[in-house]
Structure 1
Amino acid sequence: MTGAVTRVLRDFWSGRGAVLLLDDFDHRATSLVDELRACGARVGAVIARTGPAAGAPEVERSLHCSDAGLDFTRPEFEAWLRDPSDDVRTWLDGLDPAREWLALGTPRTGIDTFCGRPVHGWRRPEWAAVEDKTTIDALWAAAGVPSPPHVVVTVDEPPAGPAGLDAVTGPDGVVVAADSTRGHVGDSSGLRWVLEPAGVPHAVREFAGRADRVRIARFADGVPCSVLGMALPDGVAVFSPIEIVTLGDPATGRLLFCGSSTHWRPGDVAERDIRGAARRAGTELVRTTGYRGIFSVDGLLTPDGFTATELNPRHASGLGLRAALPDFPVYLYNRAVQEGLPGLGGITAAALEGLVRRLVAAAPSASLTVGPTLVEAVPPAPDHRAGPACADLAARLGEPGLRAFPLAAASD
């Protein structure tokens, strides 16, 4: 199956030129550049918000907005791509006068053309809208996926006091999450864990200028986790759950995102619960938006089962397939599915699901840091969780307040 996909991608990309549109031109571009070159493409240019930084791949030409004094945020860069300056058009036309190259952006690039060149695997606006944490509960309800009690308020009118939060406040407080009106906020940077209701107005106002609305939801004490899936023409493939390692300080509400691990084994019952929720959500995503490609459903595994927090309709990190199958061009495969590339129709959702789950289980991997410190290994444990090991490392680094979730288990 992987050989068939690779042959289709090589037939498509061989001899083609590409221009990459990147937020940051650094080491994260290496995998995509390597895939393109392995499939016979020529990476003729990179246009990036910043860079080049340490670890950036060697390319023929690159242009960086930061070099021209354009200090863009990521959302501002995405907006700039819709109407770049004439000198950028002239520069690119000088490299590709016939405009034969294809453009490839990030998983969040929402334009279908750039300077007269098609953007391959661009993000449709109806897909991007699903990622908003203040509106996703409509999809959870339609798909029958549990989610925490919540309210949505504007950043200009936070709740006046605790009385308005009685229905959503739990024993461990609430989580305040920003919407996506001003761009994506991830890796816990768009979240605030608020332990006491009196602190909610301040937490809401912290997002002024970064969001229009926030979702205030009951804190659920569970293992932060995610499950990736892939929407194909014949159905939805759902892969195995992964641990999204986030530490929290129950005294201050501080959250620290550490990375992800495919070592985690939540148990058969919990795995069926998580994967079933993702399959229903993915099916609803396809029904309402026509989505194709990789997506992720994030949430928490609590003693009462899985509760969902967000859906990312894009190629999210953490699948673990690259560690299991380093030469497989998974980024280009995802974009090919999104573009309906001919020749891939024989790859069924059921077959892909079984293959990826077997490969990742046979070669578990993790990408974890506590602050700047790399976590070298995930120690063996009954469920192979990485969270407790990261909390132990945090304590050794002088952060004893940071604990792994669930807090109830951490305090036993």
Structure 2
Amino acid sequence: MTDLVDPAVRAEVTRRLGELWAGRPVVVGPFVLAGATPYVGWFRELDCPVLVVATTRGAGAVPAEGDCEVVTVAPPATASMTEELRTHDALVHHLPAEARRRIDAFDPERLGTWFSTPFVTTDEPIDGRPVTGGRPASFLALEDKLLADAIWDAVGVERAPYRVVDLEDDDALVAATDELAGPLGAVWSGDARDGFNGGGNFVRWLREPADRAEALAFFRPRCDRVRVLPFLDGVPCSIHGFVLPDGTAALRPVEIVMLRDPVARTFRYCGLGTTWDPPPADRAAMREAVHRVGDLLQREHGYRGAFGIDGVLTADGFRPTELNTRMSAGATTVAELDRRFFTFLQAALLASVDTGLTAADVERLVPEMDAHRTGKVVCFGEGTTLEADDSYPLAWDGTAFSRSEEETDNVFAIAATPNGLFAKVDPCAAVVPGQRLAPVNAALVAYVDATYGTGAGAVESAPDVRTVA
């Protein structure tokens, strides 16, 4: 057994996993430049020359001058995070001629490798350079939300009732929605006809007939079918795992900040955190679901690497809603314990490298994750134009943020993205172990809306409705 709890042992394993890139040129991208900063540092420590294919500058610190070359490739304008992420694969496989020229000048013998996002496929090289950090197209295809319920059934994980309905069948849509609607109505989720969708972009909340008309107007140009579920009230959350050759390692739960607008019937994804804990029995059930699903993915799909199960902790317990077959934002959140180790582990598993690790080795880090609480206080403003990037301190009074003329423990940064803007507070003194993250993120959304005019509306966090005898 490898004692990954020992920082020295983990550092040595990380160094060994880094041999996948060591000494070779690495092309990092497509990334927001600020998001590429840690990766540039890691690869530099492996004696790798680094070139970043950047889509925009982003919020936060960028790589220091001289640490890497930067090639900026403007992606097409998009209306949502989903549409932006869908551009990644086509962007790097069909780079502009000038970008390809710059990359070939950086790595003329094509000895290097790409390090990319989970939305870039690894099945084919990019201009002769293998891809790491992405995933096979077959793994990506498993994220279709209309496939998830069959997986829950196959492994015996309790789920909510559902129907999959053709969007052209009006009668069936009405019947399914009326049949499944709970006290807060029903939810439609779109299929993956045109590719991945996430961040709540292809989810609609229906309580009245007018909501159905608006949902149809959105879905019909984009999907063929929707999955109809009752609205699940409770804390949105997720549980993650890693599929290794000998089995599945289950990690700890993550709170998903999915804010809701009860008037507009919309959802707004705003980050994740590990400051909140479900009751112990629910935590155990969530981790058991990861073991069962991971084993099925490995057995039936040859799966390896990270995955996550999103759902809601309802009054009746955890109910899964979707499967993310990648190192998702939630997995990255728990991986903040040692982000480099988990990033390198994920890339090595997907590259079929023998890591020498077992599922039990990785699971030994769960108590360390419990001790290392973290939260991402972020806000996305889709469709909002930002005049200039900015950064300054914020004050926090326990319920709201405000601009401060003095230095505080809350550093606000905001930057433009291809679909609007992105804001974060990092570090953030309002992130407190034992408390929900959602109210803090709701306060950030309110501040950004009031200051930058995002039109977010009166969003609110979901209640904790779970009662345990």
Smaller-chain TM-score range?
0.7 to 0.9
Task: Give the corresponding residue for 1:324.
Answer: 337
Contact 1:162 1:197 in 2 (8 A): no
Counterpart amino acid of residue 292 in structure 1? R
CA distance in 2, matches of 1:118, 1:77: 16
* Residue 329 of structure 1: how far off its partner (Å): 3.4
Task: Give the corresponding residue for 1:403.
Answer: 460
Q: Quickly say closer, same or farther: Cα 1:370–1:28, change in 2 above 3 A.
A: closer
Task: Give the corresponding residue for 1:368.
Answer: 377
* Residue 162 of structure 1: how far off its partner (Å): 3.2
Contact 1:182 1:211 in 2 (8 A): yes
Contact 1:169 1:197 in 2 (8 A): no
Deviations 1:70-90 (A, max 9, x none): 657543442243344555544
Contact 1:158 1:204 in 2 (8 A): no
Q: What are the residue-to-residue correspondences of 1:9-408 with 2, within 5 Å?
A: 9-22=17-30, 24-43=31-50, 45-48=51-54, 50-54=55-59, 55-58=61-64, 60-66=68-74, 73-84=84-95, 88-111=99-122, 112-159=124-171, 162-197=174-209, 199-319=211-331, 320-321=333-334, 323-325=336-338, 328-342=340-354, 344-345=355-356, 347-355=357-365, 357-369=366-378, 372=423, 374=425, 376-379=429-432, 384-391=435-442, 401-406=458-463
Q: Quickly say closer, same or farther: Cα 1:161–1:237, change in 2 above 3 A.
A: closer
Counterpart amino acid of residue 14 in structure 1? A
Deviations 1:50-104 (A, max 9, x none): 22445442554333332xx865754344224334455554443232221100112
Contact 2:252 2:334 in 1 (8 A): no
Contact 1:9 1:39 in 2 (8 A): no
Contact 1:232 1:337 in 2 (8 A): yes
More divergent stretch after superposition (104-113 vs 162-171): 162-171
CA distance in 2, matches of 1:76, 1:392: 31
* Residue 286 of structure 1: how far off its partner (Å): 1.3
Q: Quickly say closer, same or farther: Cα 1:393–1:65, change in 2 above 3 A.
A: closer
More divergent stretch after superposition (305-314 vs 155-164): 155-164
CA distance in 1, matches of 2:439, 2:133: 38
Counterpart amino acid of residue 26 in structure 1? L
* Residue 359 of structure 1: how far off its partner (Å): 1.5
Task: Give the corresponding residue for 2:412.
Answer: none
SS at match of 1:166: helix
Deviations 1:200-251 (A, max 9, x none): 2421321343333322211111210011110111110000111112222334
* Residue 35 of structure 1: how far off its partner (Å): 2.3
Contact 1:247 1:402 in 2 (8 A): yes
SS at match of 1:167: helix
* Residue 182 of structure 1: how far off its partner (Å): 2.2
CA distance in 2, matches of 1:363, 1:270: 20
Counterpart amino acid of residue 353 in structure 1? E
Contact 1:394 1:400 in 2 (8 A): no
Contact 2:113 2:131 in 1 (8 A): yes
Counterpart amino acid of residue 366 in structure 1? G
Q: Quickly say closer, same or farther: Cα 1:147–1:315, change in 2 above 3 A.
A: same
Contact 1:5 1:333 in 2 (8 A): no
Deviations 1:312-345 (A, max 9, x none): 111112344554336x432122101111224x22
Contact 1:35 1:332 in 2 (8 A): no
Contact 1:32 1:331 in 2 (8 A): no
Contact 1:162 1:198 in 2 (8 A): no
Deviations 1:241-289 (A, max 9, x none): 1111222233432322221111112121111111111221111111121
Aligned length: 399
Aligned CA-pair RMSD: 2.9
Identical columns (%) = 33
Q: Quickly say closer, same or farther: Cα 1:9–1:41, change in 2 above 3 A.
A: farther
Q: Quickly say closer, same or farther: Cα 1:358–1:96, change in 2 above 3 A.
A: same
Q: Quickly say closer, same or farther: Cα 1:83–1:392, change in 2 above 3 A.
A: closer
Which blocks of at least 5 consecutive residues in structure 2 are unaligned? 5-9, 79-83, 381-422, 451-455
Q: Quickly say closer, same or farther: Cα 1:70–1:188, change in 2 above 3 A.
A: closer
Q: TM-score, normalised by structure 2?
A: 0.76
Task: Give the corresponding residue for 2:7.
Answer: none
* Residue 392 of structure 1: how far off its partner (Å): 6.5
Contact 1:229 1:296 in 2 (8 A): yes
Contact 2:37 2:63 in 1 (8 A): yes
Contact 1:194 1:200 in 2 (8 A): yes
Counterpart amino acid of residue 227 in structure 1? I
Counterpart amino acid of residue 19 in structure 1? V
SS at match of 1:202: helix
Contact 2:235 2:465 in 1 (8 A): no
Q: Quickly say closer, same or farther: Cα 1:248–1:265, change in 2 above 3 A.
A: same
Counterpart amino acid of residue 385 in structure 1? R
